Amino acid sequence: MIGLGESYFSAYALFLGANNFQMGVLTSLPPLIAGLSQFKTLRLMKLVPSRRKLVCLGVFFQALSFFPIVLVYYFNQIRIEIYIALVIFYFTSNAIIGPVWNSWMGDLVRVSQRGIYFGRRNRIITLGTFLSMVLAGLILKYSVSRNLEYQGFIVIFGLAFVARIWSLYNLFIKYDPPYKIPEPSPNGFLIFIRGLYKKNSNLLILYMSFVNFAVFISAAYFTPIMLKEYHFNYLVYTLIVGGAALTKFLTSSFWGEICDKLGARQVLTTCGFLITFTTVPWLFSQNPWVLFLAQCYTGFVWAGYELSTFTFLLDTTEAEERAELSSYLNILTSTGGFLGGMCGALMFVHRSNTGPREYFLVLFASIVMRFVAFALVGWRLKEVRVLGQIKTSEVYFKASGFKSAMGLTSKLVVFAKRRKQV
């Protein structure tokens, strides 16, 4: 669904005629509304006690949103505004049940297996995302060559709908263990905010919110840069964007093993620092191959960051508080993303024509703020599940892939061997 659907939301917005300011709003506002919706998550869990049924309900409504998204093309003058509203509904349908899913998975997966399990899970997801993105890119390239670009979007969004319905079926047949629903605290969020610097889990949420702020300053503009500024076709655009999914697939199990052996904190701080540099190549090159390699590096680093933050959150929270803290996480990270996105969008206000200089400013601002986030908050995190010791320089060396290339101990390729039964 992601590769065929939401990966092309920005491209579809450009097709509908969105300007750079509207692109900024499209990227930042839906996650904000989706995040704020999670204030109601615990109340929904009271209304629908089964976590499985509640997750399936959200997935069903998200799948349905593809139909009006396709039809918004016919609304002419106000179609961008309607499209943004529909994308808000799409993300909110999924986000409001996100903490429920986190709680559900936290009970199903054993602590000692979390890194490996979610590493393998992320590998499968990213492989599917990459292959579906390539398929969507080929469909759109063919459609444009036949002057049927809109019909191409109908096809890929239709396939995304089918994929989401298939995932709904698989969620519906999954086991839902008994669970005691926590009582929502009327002042829980205020208490959480007051303790941001006092608990490890709260500090992680603060750090992720700062990172989201930094990333969203420039997040909306990679698609316009490639499709409008550099005039790449959809296939080249797809391959560049898909580079991140490809390396996520190749390295998810590597990061999962490191998390299980050494603890998530060391992976998190390593990747948190490396995230600072993922946007740097975009400042200096328009070469598609250079940008593809930059995206491969981006996928490698984000694979470690996403896996380690998720594992670290599970390690630092108790089962009964997990859903509530996951809600606060999404609320604050989406707020950070919105503020960052609007900062980027405001750089384009009153600019009917944009060029490399304006894009350079938002990219550079994003790089600076990523470093600030790491310097102020990221390094303060403390490990809670130390299973081994390794020097920081060794982590960077392993992360670079050199040992794997020399046939030594690191495993970047992901197909795990069966464990012997004891």
Instruction: Quote the pLDDT of residue 411.
Output: 35
Over 60: is that where the pLDDT of 401 sits? Answer: no
Over 90: is that where the pLDDT of 85 sits? Answer: yes
CA 321-31-11 angle, to 5 degrees, is 145
> Tokens in use for 72?
């918004």
Instruction: Quote the pLDDT of residue 290.
Output: 93
Cα gap 34→375, rounded to integer Å: 28
Read off the pLDDT of residues 9-61 as tens digits, 9 standing for 90 and up: 989 999 998 888 888 888 888 888 887 887 777 677 777 777 888 888 888 99
Cα gap 29→338, rounded to integer Å: 6
Q: What is the mean pLDDT of residues 168-193?
A: 71
Q: Give the domain 6-176+197-405 fold.
A: Growth Hormone; Chain: A; (1.20.1250)
Instruction: Quote the pLDDT of residue 219.
Output: 87
Q: How many helices (H) and strands (E) does the chain have?
A: 20, 0
| Residue 366 backbone phi and psi in degrees, to 5 | -65, -45
Comparing 367 with 32, the larger pLDDT belongs to 367
Average pLDDT, the chain: 78
Over 90: is that where the pLDDT of 369 sits? Answer: yes
Among 32-36, 185-189, 353-357, which range has the highest average pLDDT?
32-36
Instruction: Quote the pLDDT of residue 389.
Output: 44
Read off the pLDDT of residues 62-80 as tens digits, 9 standing for 90 and up: 899 999 999 999 988 889 9
Identify the CA nearest to 84 among candidates 12, 35, 156.
12
Comparing 400 with 32, the larger pLDDT belongs to 32
pLDDT above 70 covers a percentage of the chain that reads: 81
Angle between the N-to-C axes of helices 114-145 and 149-172, in degrees from 0 to 180, rounded to the nearest 10 = 160
Identify the CA nearest to 385 among candidates 143, 179, 112.
112
Q: Which residues contact 190 (CB under 8 A, 6 or more apart)?
A: none
Which amino acid, residue 120? R
Instruction: Quote the pLDDT of residue 366.
Output: 92
Read off the pLDDT of residues 239-295 as tens digits, 9 standing for 90 and up: 898 888 888 878 877 787 777 777 777 888 888 889 999 999 998 888 999 999 999
Q: What is the mean pLDDT of residues 208-225?
A: 89
Comparing 330 with 213, the larger pLDDT belongs to 213
Q: What is the mean pLDDT of residues 164-190?
A: 74
Instruction: Quote the pLDDT of residue 297.
Output: 93
Instruction: Quote the pLDDT of residue 307.
Output: 83
Cα gap 103→117, rounded to integer Å: 16
- For every residue of 91-116, DSSP letters joined together read HHHHHTTHHHHHHHHHHHS-GGGHHH
Comparing 35 with 296, the larger pLDDT belongs to 296
Comparing 284 with 356, the larger pLDDT belongs to 284
Query: 407: alpha, beta or left, given left = phi > 0 and alpha = psi -120 to 50?
Result: left
Strands (E) located in 35-185 = none
Return the H-helix or E-strand segment holding 400: helix 392-400
| Cβ neighbours, 10 Å, residue 381 | 22
| Cβ neighbours, 10 Å, residue 179 | 17
pLDDT above 90 covers a percentage of the chain that reads: 20
User: Is 416 in contact with 120 (CB distance < 8 Å)?
Assistant: yes
Cα gap 271→266, rounded to integer Å: 9
Identify the CA nearest to 41 among candidates 311, 314, 315, 326.
326
How confident is residue 353, by pLDDT bands cut at 50, 70 and 90?
low
Over 90: is that where the pLDDT of 412 sits? Answer: no
Cα gap 226→152, rounded to integer Å: 19
Q: What is the mean pLDDT of residues 141-151?
A: 90
